[in-house]
Structure 1
């Protein structure tokens, strides 16, 4: 590009553009100029063609479509001089893919360059073929590339590129390499002395043996010799030595190739390889230089993988474990992570577990590491190394860690502790103790499968039944226990409580009393278990206790009219059976033993297995914000919340709603598949200028503007300026439109939009599911605004009616336009105001989100304990009660979080949750479909990590529950907080009123004073 002044000027012009629109105009102008020049071939000199093709490449790299000029780029490949040929090869490989028809025109030219004598042209051609690949290139050029690779007359530079080019062709089309004729040649390539050619050839070998190792046995001893040469640093040039390590890249590739061969039969080859591996293990240590560490550890960990693959002697395995033990004790977190991960892999090797146990204390220390990735790997390692000898210590450590572990790990911790307790319990009473401690410390994270399993063990082991009954009786003494503990205790005491007869506090009346105390605190799913327990207590009360019988009968009578069919049926049947005496004994006989089968917990743990890479990908996906706008409005089906939302309050795609679990009629949860994105996703919703959608991407409205589903425009919070005649003008909004919108979502009055010509304010009143907004349109100039048009594009859940808008706004005047709103059903979709006006010769169009959002139809309400908990218990499970762990939350102190909830009309109810780190809140939602619907919220925060919390939302309508949960989630994660404005003063000027010019200071958020100080 040296000497191309026009190209340099063009690049400077692009870099000096103030905004994206100016850049687009400059690029369009340049593309038009290039297109014109390409049509006039008489004046198109090789120099100009080269310059224009470079410009096309630069425009392409900026992300703009270049849909012409491909033929000119391809034609440069056949140019006789290097500068033109270089441009042709580079631009063709960047602009065209393997399916482009123009490439067929270049195949002969590329082949001529490959088989020619000019090494520079050969390298250019090989680079093009390697970058593009494709079947046609592979079929036509692979034999010539192979000849270059094995040619002794070619320089190493060409042969390196030939090896990498052949590797690319093989990956795309494995049949281009004939195994029968190529295996011996591959072995000859491994004798190469040039390390560059050898490294490239080894990359090719790794691909070949991964596809078919049987054909390449002759390469195995050659690979061992390469390792010996590198380990002894024999004939290794200085340029291939990295921080004193001879070609670490070649060492890693060679050892990886060896891992595709199942065994090494030859004793001398095996002995030589183990000597090399021993040298690597002995010579690797942690140093201060990060680059040297990275290189040496890459070689070391590949060597460890090879040692495990070859099933080396126990002495070498012990040496490997000792080395990893050093790694997990260093301060560098990356090295600790690799040490734990590789030690976990070594558990698959026989006779190594006892050696790893020596490092158990250090592994347990890693369980408390600040880095969650290291904690996860430590947990995996502890789980894998556990056996009968150390199960007690490991499970006790997991139980202690459970109380301080973060939400993201508690469920996995609970599951693995339960599995270890079951598999390696020294006695069954210890197993019962562990599971009960688990439920007591982490009840919310203990799945039903865990307490089902302990019930199976107790039922199938008669000697265990009195002990289990006594332990559960002890836990019931606690003033506050988790509902899962109530379930397991009630079940076991119902079945085996009579075995405690004669012990203090274990009479039927005392056991009934202590169980019945928990009834008001449990949900509807637990009540059937308690009713069964009451019936069994009656059964085992001998002689009959009439007072106790009357108490239990009163409970049965109470629930005979319960709306829950399961509770109602049990209450009716138990009441009738208890009157028949012997019939009750037959029906409520002791449960038979469960058939022996594999624990469902183990399968669940396998399903929940998660690698470090998958965890990182999930975490990035949850924390990555998006400015895209999905223009679709799927309706709820059978009361199930829609999986994908249209523009929400944050103006972003709702990532999690696409994967939200929804309740099915049978009570199971299923995943809703994410919907494909809309073809016209916008790259920047908050910018001041409109972004043009691709032609034909969406239908157009009567103004020619692109619209989405339901008539919602595909550009919001931005102004589109339409040229009149030959003029093009840009209008920059004053202030951030999105920030103004978010502020109006939390208050009822303020400025919604402003530019040099007009100011649009809003003042709103809300009552129940009705709302009334007044739009204030203020002309800021001494000339009238003409052709004024405004229309509302409402979502389907709102009825909106806007009064007529005058076509002309007089100079320095303000007009008012009332807007009536009725909320039909819960939704986070946002209405859009499509507003346009003409000033002089400029037509301005702006599309703005209106603050008629979900929280406007909320009314805060304070509930007492007696009012809150019965409602909370009656809403049991999805879809009426939804729970989600949120990560990436803005770290807010609890007082600020309380203020945030109050700002969007959700009232905090103090004192309902005994945990000071939790918040309980309530509000009432109004709509035509739900009328007044009570909504309950619980927020559980983690004091050690304010960036995550667990949220539970409940209401009597599944769609409302889903929408409110997602709305609160947006507030906590997506939308930034700002200063809370005080309520503005009432409206002052009437329509068309003119204020005095001597008012420099105004309340900017008061629509009644919008023009004060300006007119």
Structure 2
């Protein structure tokens, strides 16, 4: 580029542009000039062509598309002079890929340069092929590249590039290397004295032996000799010594190649190799220089992998474990991580588990490390090293750690603790204790498989049944327990509570009373289990207790009209069966033993197992730029939302066959009927909220503040105000609060707010018109947060009750605050959380929108033609059916629009509209005023103009129709924030839909709005 004044001026112009628009204008002008010059070949001198091709490359590197001039770049490859040829090779390798047709024009020129005598041209050609060579290059050029590699007349620089070029061609087409003829030549290359050629050749060897090691046995002793040479630092030039380590890259590649050979049979070669490995193990230590550490540890950990692969003597294995034990105790987190990871791999080797157990205390200490990657590796290692001798200690440590573990690890931690307790339990009563403690400490993260499994054990072991019943009876005494504990306790007491007869507090009436106290706190999925328990208690009450019988019958009668089919069926059948006297004992007999089968927990762990590298990648993708919260004192969640009436759209639930009847112990008539598992709502609570969410629906004033309760404008989702003395300072939140809110509108868990002092997370459950949010308030600092206050500013359509918030949050601790929500009527208004706290002398106050929005009270439903059209016809026009033409819509393809509707719980019903460009959708809305209200939607798109569409929304409630139409409109089009339109009054029929001035309304009874040929 020396002397190209026009190129230098162009680069200066680009750098001097004040904004992106000016840069784009300058580049468009230059691209137009280049295109004009390329068309006029008469004035296109080699110098100009070279200059313009350089400019194209610079524009490409800036991120702009360059869709012309490729032919000119390729033609420079055939130029006779180096400056033009260099430009051609460099620009071609940057602009084109292996599938580009222009490359075929250059194959002959590239081959001529490779077989020519100009070493500079050879290097340019080999670099191009090594970067973008595809199958055609491999078939045409591989023989010539091989000749260069084994040629004794070529300089090392050329041969080094030839080895890497051949590696690229082999990866594209393995057939280009003939195994029979190349094995001996590969062995000869390993005798090379030049370390540059040797390093490149070893990279090629690794690829070859990974494909077929049988053909390259002759290379094995050569690899050992290379390692000996490097270990003794014999004939290693200074430029290949990195911080005193002889060519660490070559050492790593050579040991990696050796790991593809199954074994080393020659005693002399094996002895030499172990001497080298011994020298590496003895000579590696942790030093202050980070670069030297990285290089020496790369060699060390590859040597450890080779030692494990070769199944070395126990003495060397002990030495490896001792070295790793030293690594897991240092302060540097990267070294601790590698030590734990490699110690986990050592578990695959026989006879080292007892040696690893000596470091158990240090491994347990790693569970409390600030770095979650290290904690994960420590958990994996403890899980792998556990056996009968140390299971009790490890499981107790895991249970203790469970109270302070962050949410990202609790599910995995619970699963592994449950598996260890099952595999290595010294007695079954200890196993029951462990599982019940797991459920008590981490109920949200305990999968249904865990409590199903403990029920199976109790059912199959008669001696265990009284103990399990007594323990679950103790847990029910607690004022607040998790719903999973209610399930397992109710089931076990229903089956085996009668075995406690005579003990204090264990009469049928007392057991019924303590179980029935939990009924208002559980969800609809638990009520069937409780009903079965009541029926079993009634069965085992001898002599009959008429008062208890009347109480239970009243409950059955209450749920006989429940809209949930499962609850209704059980209530009706239990009530009728309880009148049958002796027949009740035959139908509700004790559950038979479960058939022996592989533990579903172990299978689940195997399915979820991944490598350490994959775990680290996933972790890095999920981490937030904030400190992890540590749960200091777990607050039991006081149940779940009260049961609500949820319509079964399918008419009945599907039940599995007898093979599945023993898999989910819910209480039974003649079989155990499965309940839907509770979703893991907190699995990504601290994960990234990378969701493109709709604009907020909170009304704002002209300054961007929201309108709080009573119409008083407040700053919502803005910076928190911190009074310091007489001055006002601002605490900047971490992350975009509005984006977090929009993401939570489509998700049920995540981080709602974070600043340097506190993190507020939310987890929500929604059922019908009821909702339950749990706010997680986490103190990120080592000092307490005081004067904590939280109050809800609810809109008039929501009834909200927040549990008391503690005035002080301890250092590095987290508290949970349940929030009950009841939806009274349809509205898009949003509740606001007014939250404040004091840190040191600073008082912080922030107002946050709560994700209790309209779509949370929707339940998607799929309708057939027979179900949809009678409803559509019955809603004849405004105000129950509104239609609007929307313009300025985001141009979404139909599949993306389908995904968008599904994201806010409106289900697309395929095949109902004969026009493939239209969408028909349905959902059910829940509120106290409307109950379960069916909503129907039709979207008519214009294939020629995706920026406009016509939308028709229909429901049995005028307000709901308007609010749902406006909500969907907000998702499809950017609406300027301003005063919200007033919904049509149900008493005042409108002539058409209420619409924005830019989107005129269309009467919904227009024939064009009806489904073609069907209405």
**What is the TM-score when the length of structure 1 is the normalising length?**
0.66
Q: Distance in 2 between matches of 1:282 and 1:743?
A: 53
Distance 1:63 1:192, change over 3 A: same
Distance 1:667 1:910, change over 3 A: farther
Q: Distance in 2 between matches of 1:650 and 1:844?
A: 50
Alpha-carbon deviation of 1:36?
2.2
Maintained 8 Å contact 1:862/1:922: yes
Q: Distance in 1 between matches of 2:817 and 2:483?
A: 55
Q: Distance in 1 between matches of 2:556 and 2:641?
A: 36
Q: Distance in 2 between matches of 1:331 and 1:950?
A: 63
Q: Distance in 2 between matches of 1:362 and 1:947?
A: 62
Maintained 8 Å contact 2:962/2:983: no
Q: Distance in 1 between matches of 2:813 and 2:258?
A: 83
1:338-366 deviations in Å (ceiling 9; x for gaps): 11111111111111111111000000000
Q: Distance in 2 between matches of 1:8 and 1:670?
A: 85
Distance 1:979 1:678, change over 3 A: farther
1:498-540 deviations in Å (ceiling 9; x for gaps): 2112222222222222222222222222222222222222222
Maintained 8 Å contact 1:997/1:1013: no
Q: Aligned residue for 2:983? A: 983
- The worse-fitting range, judged by mean Cα deviation, of 637-646 and 436-445 is 637-646
Q: Matched residue of 1:662: which SS? A: coil
Alpha-carbon deviation of 1:734?
26
Distance 1:775 1:415, change over 3 A: closer
1:675-707 deviations in Å (ceiling 9; x for gaps): 999999999999999999999999999999999
Alpha-carbon deviation of 1:596?
0.8
Alpha-carbon deviation of 1:849?
19
Q: Aligned residue for 2:535? A: 535
Q: Aligned residue for 1:566? A: 566
Alpha-carbon deviation of 1:577?
2.1
Distance 1:1008 1:756, change over 3 A: farther
Q: Return structure 1 stretches of 4+ with deviation > 6 angstroms.
A: 623-1015
5+ residue gaps in structure 1? none
Q: Distance in 2 between matches of 1:840 and 1:713?
A: 29
Distance 1:392 1:891, change over 3 A: farther
Distance 1:733 1:644, change over 3 A: farther
Maintained 8 Å contact 2:695/2:970: no
Distance 1:675 1:141, change over 3 A: farther
- The worse-fitting range, judged by mean Cα deviation, of 731-740 and 549-558 is 731-740
1:68-102 deviations in Å (ceiling 9; x for gaps): 22222222212222111111111111122222222
Alpha-carbon deviation of 1:823?
16
Alpha-carbon deviation of 1:374?
0.7
Distance 1:67 1:426, change over 3 A: same
Distance 1:389 1:565, change over 3 A: same
Maintained 8 Å contact 2:959/2:983: no
Q: Distance in 2 between matches of 1:576 and 1:955?
A: 39
Q: Distance in 1 between matches of 2:326 and 2:982?
A: 60
Q: Matched residue of 2:948: which SS? A: strand
1:838-865 deviations in Å (ceiling 9; x for gaps): 9999999999999999699999999999
1:825-881 deviations in Å (ceiling 9; x for gaps): 999999999999999999999999999996999999999999999999999999999
Alpha-carbon deviation of 1:267?
0.7
Q: Matched residue of 1:728: which SS? A: strand
Maintained 8 Å contact 2:482/2:636: no
Alpha-carbon deviation of 1:439?
0.9
Q: Distance in 2 between matches of 1:812 and 1:464?
A: 40
5+ residue gaps in structure 2? none
Maintained 8 Å contact 1:626/1:653: no
- The worse-fitting range, judged by mean Cα deviation, of 168-177 and 56-65 is 56-65
Q: Matched residue of 1:833: which SS? A: strand
Maintained 8 Å contact 2:885/2:1001: no
Q: Distance in 2 between matches of 1:762 and 1:822?
A: 17
Alpha-carbon deviation of 1:464?
0.9
Q: Distance in 2 between matches of 1:808 and 1:324?
A: 42
- The worse-fitting range, judged by mean Cα deviation, of 592-601 and 665-674 is 665-674
Maintained 8 Å contact 2:884/2:1000: no
Q: Distance in 2 between matches of 1:570 and 1:996?
A: 51
Q: Aligned residue for 2:7? A: 7
Q: Aligned residue for 2:685? A: 685
- The worse-fitting range, judged by mean Cα deviation, of 649-658 and 339-348 is 649-658
Maintained 8 Å contact 1:773/1:820: yes
Q: Matched residue of 2:732: which SS? A: coil
- The worse-fitting range, judged by mean Cα deviation, of 21-30 and 273-282 is 21-30
Q: Distance in 2 between matches of 1:370 and 1:815?
A: 20
Q: Distance in 1 between matches of 2:459 and 2:194?
A: 72
Maintained 8 Å contact 1:795/1:829: yes
Distance 1:486 1:173, change over 3 A: same
Maintained 8 Å contact 2:521/2:642: no
Maintained 8 Å contact 1:861/1:907: yes
Alpha-carbon deviation of 1:743?
17
Q: Matched residue of 1:773: which SS? A: strand
1:386-428 deviations in Å (ceiling 9; x for gaps): 1000000000001011111111111111111111000000001
Q: Distance in 2 between matches of 1:776 and 1:517?
A: 26
Maintained 8 Å contact 1:923/1:935: yes
Maintained 8 Å contact 1:861/1:922: yes
Q: Distance in 2 between matches of 1:927 and 1:647?
A: 13
**Do structure 1's residue 602 and structure 2's residue 615 form an aligned pair?**
no
Aligned Cα RMSD in Å?
20.2
Q: Distance in 1 between matches of 2:514 and 2:804?
A: 69
